[in-house]
Structure 1
């Protein structure tokens, strides 16, 4: 009887040991197609190249909505002629709009754009954190044209979850800024 009890105890304690298995850290992997750009056909005093996965809707006064249905995001672009307005007030308004998000933003990075050949000057703002917008920009020729844009997602701003889409769209916005040209 003692032998049976002893064997049962050995089996019991030997079977309770769990093998430790190290599992790799899992990460969300969202892949987006390599961007392919075409000229956006709009009847405005400026033109630009758009990502083929985006759709362009032109509103009144050359306000342009560039929608990314797959990413659930929209880039709102507005156009204002400089004539009759001070370029300083337009620049001030664009910068103020960006820095209104500093309450929720962890950081705001500025990247200037200067293309003296095509007369395109501006600023790209990358806004990190749970702000309402993740990227903003403006471009101007400082004489006649002023274009401003803001990126918004149709979701609650959660920067960690939106990060892959934010990075993809930031590259798209930079391409729009690089390809913009003024119509005479």
Structure 2
């Protein structure tokens, strides 16, 4: 009899554990991303002596002179980066003088090719026309999907000045996690373009 009671006690214990384990069914948690706190939107003017352009940029960004283009010196001293240290992002801005070596058509074609290099990762590429009262014309590109640069533009007066900007982040591209930051900085990029003036 003691052996039967022992087996019965083991069976009852196992059933109790089994029933207790069934009460808390584990559920997978949805994937989440970090909450990004955006700074208050305010602007200041980039107006460095000698530069052929001026524009307004966010106070939470820094302007850094670009001294290297793929290991070589930039074509002229007017290349800059608009750095967003709190968001790990940067707008690389290259300036070119329109002339015999760089015709307007060639510069537009180059900007188009650089944007469309992202097509293997892009879900779509939208083109928006830039036309401001300050004689600034061009195209603002929105590249959807996990492309390395989802916001790009070129702006020009079509006779002398040509400025190209591309937003990159210091992280692996993930359209879902970066979507709020893209949207936030897109507004800043449009503000920069709309306040751009040639000198």
Normalization by structure 1: what TM-score?
A: 0.83
Residue aligned with 1:35, SS: coil
**Alignment-derived partner of residue 3 in structure 1:** none
Q: Find out whether 1:101 has 2:108 as its counterpart.
A: no
Aligned length in residues: 181
Q: Find out whether 1:134 has 2:140 as its counterpart.
A: no
**Alignment-derived partner of residue 55 in structure 1:** 62
Normalization by structure 2: what TM-score?
A: 0.77
**Alignment-derived partner of residue 186 in structure 2:** 170
Residue aligned with 2:178, SS: helix
Alpha-carbon displacement from aligned partner over 1:87-117 (angstroms, at most 9, x marks no partner): 11110000110001000011111111112x3
Q: Give the Cα separation in 2 of the matches to 1:153 and 1:32.
A: 16
Structure 1 spans left out of the alignment, 5+ residues? 1-8
Confirm or deny: 8 A CA contact 2:47 2:53 kept in the other structure. no
**Alignment-derived partner of residue 152 in structure 1:** 168
Structure 2 spans left out of the alignment, 5+ residues? 1-11, 67-75
Counting only pairs closer than 5 Å after superposition, residues 59-70 of structure 1 correspond to structure 2 as: 59=66, 61-70=77-86
Q: Which deviates the most, 173-182 or 58-67?
A: 58-67
